[in-house]
Amino acid sequence: MVSSESGWDNLSFTLDGTTSTTWSGAVDWTSYAVNVPAGSHTFRWTYEKDTSTATGLDTAWLDAVTLVPLEAPTGDPSGLAATLASSTEIDLEWVDNCTTELGFRIERRDGASGTFTEIATVSANTTTTRDSGLSAGTAYTYRVRAYNAGGNTGYSNEASATTPGGATAPGAPSALSATAAGSIAVVLTWTRNSTNETGFKIERKTGSTGSYSQIGTVTANVTTCGDTGLASMTTYTYRVRAYNATGNSAFSNEASATTGASSDSSSSGCFIATAAYGSPLDARVMALRRFRDRHLVTNAWGRLLVDGYYRTSPPVADVIRRSDTLKEATRWALEPLIDAVERLD
């Protein structure tokens, strides 16, 4: 209790030379508490008197000083889980098993070994937090403990999560082959060696020399393509590469094919019919080829239809070729068309 001239006469309490609090004027009995870390410390009470004026009793009373040990919190956090929130963020969640914490300390280390470092604290009763600004392709391990002025609990279990790796360009395709399909088309096939491509870019040049130009793309997982509307008796050379948002793969090997003469029937290009009937020399396949050569490729709309067919039919034909049931169903579906084109001959 202090009875003194307010603003001039002061009772001060210092801890290790640092003033903790000051009282002045007529003050009733007041209790004051301060948290003190473990160890040896110096306490001091100082009463300063200004003698220029005098009001009040100019006195101070110190009743009692009690040292009360602070208890560390009990009840370690449990059930810590680390969940990937984005490519640079990890969410943490745990169970609060303490009732006397001031908050929780969050610690992290990179990978499964190394030293934990405190990265954040959260307030009492909070059981979630998000760790942001992380590096790509890195494993992070976490642990949590509760704390108050008396100390810390034990640690929770450890929990880990790994941010996804940085994006990379896809691997280069291989085993590119080019097969002429009659006089106006070439069918390309290749081996896919990537799992992260957006698609494939197809490039072509005329002959074995000259400059390549991109003629089209196909989507991811597609490993065949038809190039149509070509000149007869001409050699074309191709290369393919995969691509995604990061960039392009290296090119595949080069592959060449030479289209046949306009009357060449050695390769029908009627992929679905050939798959269904088993041979490009089957009479029904030859009827379809004659219809193509006489009535479709001779006009703009027909060439557009043939172009679309050659681009989309090779993978369908591959599926049909491997199934007797699909072969039979395809033959049944083609019979009306074959009857119609044969009547045109």
Question: What pLDDT score was predicted for residue 303?
Answer: 72
Alpha-carbon distance of 311 to 314, in angstroms, equals 7
Residue whose entry in the numeric block shows the structure tokens 């609090």: 21
Residue 92's CB is within 10 A of a number of other CB atoms, namely 26
Summarize pLDDT for 176-209 with one digit per residue, the tens.
999 887 777 888 889 999 888 999 999 999 987 8
Residue 185's CB is within 10 A of a number of other CB atoms, namely 25
Mean pLDDT of the chain: 83
Question: What pLDDT score was predicted for residue 263?
Answer: 47
Angle between helices 324-344 and 300-321 (to 10 degrees): 150
Range name among 24-28, 63-67, 78-82, 246-250 with the lowest pLDDT average: 24-28
Residue 4's pLDDT band (cuts 50, 70, 90) = low
pLDDT greater than 50 at residue 252: yes
- What three-state secondary structure class fits 103? strand
**Parts of the chain belonging to CATH 2.60.40.10:** 78-162, 168-263
pLDDT greater than 50 at residue 266: no
- The set of long-range contacts for 37-42, using a CB threshold of 8 Å and a minimum separation of 24, is 41/15, 41/16, 42/15, 42/16, 42/17
Alpha-carbon distance of 168 to 170, in angstroms, equals 6
Summarize pLDDT for 116-149 with one digit per residue, the tens.
999 999 999 999 999 999 888 889 999 999 999 8
- What's the rounded mean pLDDT across residues 7-23? 75
Angle between helices 283-291 and 324-344 (to 10 degrees): 50
Alpha carbon of 202 to those of 151, 228, 243, 269: distances in Å? 67, 13, 11, 19
- Could you tell me the pTM of the whole model? 0.41
Residue 267's pLDDT band (cuts 50, 70, 90) = very low
Residue % of the chain over a pLDDT of 70:
85
Question: What pLDDT score was predicted for residue 265?
Answer: 41
**What residues have CB less than 8 Å from 283, skipping those under 6 apart?**
none
Q: Let me know: does 328 contact 334? Beta carbons within 8 Å.
A: no
**CATH class held by domain 78-162:** mainly beta
Q: The sheet that has 43-48: what strands, in order across it?
A: 18-24, 10-15, 43-48
- What's the rounded mean pLDDT across residues 205-228? 87
Which is more confidently placed, 82 or 18? Answer: 82
Summarize pLDDT for 292-319 with one digit per residue, the tens.
777 776 677 777 777 777 777 777 877 8
Which is more confidently placed, 274 or 115? Answer: 115
Q: Please compute, for residue 174, the number of CA atoms within 13 A of its CA located in the half-sphere on the CB side.
A: 3
Question: What pLDDT score was predicted for residue 310?
Answer: 74
Alpha-carbon distance of 191 to 318, in angstroms, equals 15
Which is more confidently placed, 25 or 81? Answer: 81
Question: What pLDDT score was predicted for residue 27?
Answer: 65
Question: What pLDDT score was predicted for residue 80?
Answer: 96
**CATH node for 168-263:** 2.60.40.10
Residue 25's pLDDT band (cuts 50, 70, 90) = low
Which is more confidently placed, 284 or 77? Answer: 77
pLDDT greater than 90 at residue 70: no
Length of the chain: 345
Summarize pLDDT for 90-107 with one digit per residue, the tens.
999 999 999 989 999 999
Q: Let me know: does 169 contact 248? Beta carbons within 8 Å.
A: yes
